[in-house]
Amino acid sequence: MSPARRCRGMRAAVAASVGLSEVSAGSRSGRLFRPPSPAPAAPGARLLRLPGSGAVQAASPERAGWTEALRAAVAELRAGAVVAVPTDTLYGLACAASCSAALRAVYRLKGRSEAKPLAVCLGRVADVYRYCRVRVPEGLLKDLLPGPVTLVMERSEELNKDLNPFTPLVGIRIPDHAFMQDLAQMFEGPLALTSANLSSQASSLNVEEFQDLWPQLSLVIDGGQIGGGQSPECRLGSTVVDLSVPGKFGIIRPGCALESTTAILQQKYGLLPSHASYL
Residue 229's pLDDT is 58
pLDDT tens string 193-215: 999 999 989 999 988 899 889 88
Give, in words, the CATH class of 46-273: alpha beta
Domain borders along the chain are 46-273
Taking the alpha carbons at both ends of the chain, their separation in whole angstroms is 35
Residue 45's pLDDT is 28
What are the residues facing 85 on neighbouring strands? Answer: 92
pTM of the predicted protein model: 0.80
Tens of each residue's pLDDT in the chain, 279 residues: 544 444 544 444 333 333 333 444 444 345 554 444 433 333 222 333 434 444 444 445 456 667 878 988 899 999 999 999 999 999 999 999 999 999 999 999 999 999 999 999 999 999 999 999 999 999 999 999 999 999 999 999 999 999 999 999 999 999 999 999 999 999 999 999 999 999 989 999 988 899 889 889 988 888 888 886 566 777 899 999 999 999 999 999 999 999 999 999 999 999 999 865 544
